[in-house]
A and B are shown apart, each in its own frame.
Chain A
Amino acid sequence: RKEVEQDPGPFNVPEGATVAFNCTYSNSASQSFFWYRQDCRKEPKLLMSVYSSGNEDGRFTAQLNRASQYISLLIRDSKLSDSATYLCVVRNSGYALNFGKGTSLLVTP
């Protein structure tokens, strides 16, 4: 079983829609959680960190449920420019990051 699992999608949504991505992780000792965005043929870039209390950054809201080992990302009012692959990333103890396969999002006009 992979350490970080995501629904690969693709998610096809119209502009303005709200879309949610889910991610589960297997290591209960995981300490840090992130969502990264990867555009086609580009390197991953940090979208937001995920905090235990949940956090919001504009149209993006991230939630963490440690008991269920579950992370979510909610995107409101989707824009065409949100089309990308969203990577769920978890850090256990130490420095190594564990990446999910990513969830593909396509926002259509």
Chain B
Amino acid sequence: SAVISQKPSRDICQRGTSLTIQCQVDSQVTMMFWYRQQPGQSLTLIATANQGSEATYESGFVIDKFPISRPNLTFSTLTVSNMSPEDSSIYLCSVEVRLTEAFFGQGTRLTVV
């Protein structure tokens, strides 16, 4: 299993600003992911955070808007840049253990005003 600490748990931000979300795992994991869950919607994968190389972004998500860092196998950050109200959502980091189970952080509930 894996225990994930994600922070902040929630934030209210002004449009045009940026927020960095941190994700710390209690063990070294190869695969780490960032998801977004908009109200009433399913989880949508933003990107895969790769250690030592650039993140791999899904269709509709770009590095300039969602820069990701992965300095080691236990830590990653996601930045939501130049925020607008449409970015209001829950952001979740996730790790997979042997492709049998995904573990999630508690989520960051972001409101952009």
Could you show 8 A-B contacts with beta carbons less than 8 Å apart? Answer: A43-B107, A87-B42, A89-B102, A95-B31, A95-B48, A96-B33, A99-B43, A101-B41
Given A36-B102, A44-B104, output 5 extra A-B contacts at Cβ < 8 Å: A41-B109, A44-B102, A45-B104, A46-B102, A96-B33
Within 1-47 of B, Cβ neighbours of A (below 8 Å) are at 31, 33, 40-45
Distance of A42 Cα from B99 Cα, bound (Å) = 22
- Among B40, B43, B100, B106, chain A packs the most CB atoms within 10 A around the CB of B43
Least CB separation from B30: chain A residue: A95
Least CB separation from B31: chain A residue: A95
B44 → A minimal CB distance (Å): 8
In the complex, which residues of chain A have a beta carbon less than 8 angstroms from the beta carbon of B100?
49
Distance of A89 Cα from B104 Cα, bound (Å) = 14
Interface string of A1-33 (1 = CB under 8 A from B): 010100000000000000000000000000010
Interface residues of B (CB under 8 A from A): 31, 33, 40-45, 48, 58, 92, 96, 99-102, 104-107, 109
Distance of A2 Cα from B43 Cα, bound (Å) = 12
B76 → A minimal CB distance (Å): 15
Choose from B42, B92, B99 the contact partner of A102 (Cβ within 8 Å).
B42
In the complex, which residues of chain A have a beta carbon less than 8 angstroms from the beta carbon of B41?
101
A97 is an interface residue with CB less than 8 A from chain B: yes
Interface string of A44-65 (1 = CB under 8 A from B): 1110010000000000000000
Across the interface, do B99 and A32 meet the contact criterion of CB distance under 8 Å?
A: yes
B60 → A minimal CB distance (Å): 13
Given contacts A87-B42, A101-B40, A101-B41, contact A95 B99 (CB under 8 A): yes
